[in-house]
Amino acid sequence: MSHPSVPREKLMRKCRQKAVEDKEATDMEDLFSEKETHKIRVSLLDWYDENQRDLPWRKRYSEDEKEKRAYEVWVSEIMLQQTRVQTVMEYYKRWMHKWPTIYDLAQASLEEVNEMWAGLGYYRRARFLLEGAKMVVEGKDGFPNQASSLMKVKGIGEYTAGAIASIAFNEVVPVVDGNVIRVLARLKAISANPKDRLTIKNFWKLAAQLVDPSRPGDFNQSLMELGATLCSVSKPSCSSCPVSSQCRAYSLFQENETNPVTDYPTKVVKAKPRSDFCCVCVLEILNQERNQSGGRFVLLKRPEEGLLAGLWEFPSVILDEEADSETRRDAIDVYLKETFHVEPKKTCTVVSRKELGEFVHIFTHIRRKIYVELLVLQLTEGDTDDDLFKDEAKENLTWKCVDSDVLSTMGLTSAVRKVYSMVEAHKQGLSVVAKVSSNRTAVSRKRRIS
């Protein structure tokens, strides 16, 4: 039996929603006046010409080097989505030294790219960068030079497309990132939720209105630069700001000092990351002829999809809840039994087994407590590393055994490097710092490949 009123109601609701969206999208009161637009463009560009930071990806290029410039903007923008400018500079220089053009990058392996990216986090972006480079090089039309066509390349979203198109190819398109949202929200005193879809749409509209048609790339960079320097999150320097006379938030503050400009944009409470627990077992294998300091470490490759896809790690087991050391050891034992021929007295001898400590690592949406133990085994005479894995595991897992020299130069995630540094500290007789707090920015850089 049909219910004619239901689809009609649905349709009406849709129409009303669309009318609201259209109104919000075309409400001219929300836009800058022509005079404001002109003043903001001139003031920001003058300020940018005088004050822009000297960054390695801001070189000037001739007309026929636009593609090179586009590649550099692309790499730098993807890296800048990961971390701060200071950190990116070092990564960027090493990257460009190894792969100076998109054609060089397209020849690289994922392993090499992950190595280069190690410590930056969000490894999926590095993979997309590689896949995108291959797409462009294998395509027949060269480097896409418009935002709309750039967005068809793997890993290039609206923001990156706008940055490449405006900076490298002079297309008059806007960019909206966190810095731009902060500046626009303050210029217009916008208190709506900056994560809301319609508010974001509005920011794009405002940025599109402001972008200077004669110097779109420089203008976009000036807006981002203002957000990254003077119009900072917590300590904006309004008295030195080139657009303070057009800034609504600043004028509200001058009228009433209890309304700080930092009220804009509205702070959105982040969802709490879920917690889990991970037992890492660093498996060191000694052969008969090797002494205890010269073992090889077992590394497993993560699946090609999902968190930290395709990256190497030590054997580990994820637990849903906090567990005591006995339960953790049991979980590791079951895992080792299912995956490896770890059968003391039969296939190997347990030389030592020691808990080295624990630390917390924060992924975007996961707070992971990591327990680390070192299990040193000696293989039975005549056995090789290959004999360690069960036949089913050999088919389903990608693994390798590497010595400490190789391990030290591999591109490992910051959490895996932290685990290995605990092993090294233990071997050097240093006390391992238990309960070390960690996050993506607190990464030890000393083991990065140069």
- The residue within the footprint of ligand SF4, chosen from 75, 147, 156, 183 (CB under 6 A), is 183
* Near ligand SF4 by CB under 6 A: residue from 116, 243, 286, 331: 243
Binding string, 94-133, against ligand SF4, x = CB under 6 A? ----------------------------------------
- Quick count: other Cβ atoms within 10 Å of Cβ 363? 18
186 binds ligand SF4 (CB under 6 A): yes
Piece in contact with ligand SF4 (CB under 6 A), picked from 17-25, 30-38, 128-136, 182-190:
182-190
CA distance linking residue 425 with residue 432, whole number of Å: 6
261 binding ligand SF4? (CB under 6 A): yes
| Residue 158 annotated to the active site | no
**Minimum distance from CB of 215 to ligand SF4 (Å)?**
20
Query: Which candidate in 67, 77, 171, 284 is catalytic?
Result: 77
Q: Smallest distance, Å, CB 84 to ligand SF4?
A: 19
**176 near ligand SF4, judged by CB under 6 A:** no
* Residue count, binding to ligand SF4 (CB under 6 A): 15
Rule CB under 6 A: say whether 175 interacts with ligand SF4: no
CB of 247 to ligand SF4, least distance (A): 3
Report the residue number, 176 or 278, with the smaller CB distance to ligand SF4: 176
Query: Smallest distance, Å, CB 187 to ligand SF4?
Result: 6
Please write down the HEC assignment for all residues of the chain. CCCCHHHHHHHHHHHHHHHHHHHHHHCHHHCCCHHHHHHHHHHHHHHHHHHCCCCCCCCCCCHHHHHHHHHHHHHHHHHHCCCCHHHHHHHHHHHHHHCCCHHHHHCCCHHHHHHHHCCCCCHHHHHHHHHHHHHHHHCCCCCCCCHHHHCCCCCCCHHHHHHHHHHHHCCCCCCCCHHHHHHHHHHCCCCCCCCCHHHHHHHHHHHHHHCCCCCHHHHHHHHHHHHHCCCCCCCCCHHHCCCHHHCHHHHHHHHCCCCCHHHCCCCCCCCCCEEEEEEEEEEEEECCCCCHHHCEEEEEECCCCCCCCCCEECCEEEECCCCCHHHHHHHHHHHHHHHECCCECCCEEEEEEEEEEEEEEECCCEEEEEEEEEEEEEECCCCCHHHHECHHHHHHCCEEEEEHHHHHHCCCCHHHHHHHHHHHHHHCCCCCCCCEECCCCCCCCCCCCC
Binding mask 202-231 for ligand SF4 (x = CB under 6 A): ----------------------------xx
The residue within the footprint of ligand SF4, chosen from 156, 165, 168, 187 (CB under 6 A), is: 187
Q: Which is nearer to ligand SF4, 36 or 72 (CB)?
A: 36
Q: Which of 82, 202, 244, 413 binds ligand SF4 (CB under 6 A)?
A: 244
Q: How far is the CB of 251 from ligand SF4 (least distance, A)?
A: 9
Task: Choose between 82 and 244: whose C-beta lies nearer to ligand SF4.
Answer: 244
Does 236 sit near ligand SF4 (CB under 6 A)? yes
Stretch that binds ligand SF4, among 9-17, 108-116, 237-245, 372-380 (CB under 6 A): 237-245
Catalytic center residues:
77
Residues in the site for ligand SF4, rule: CB under 6 A? 183, 186-187, 230-231, 236-238, 241, 243-244, 247, 249-250, 261
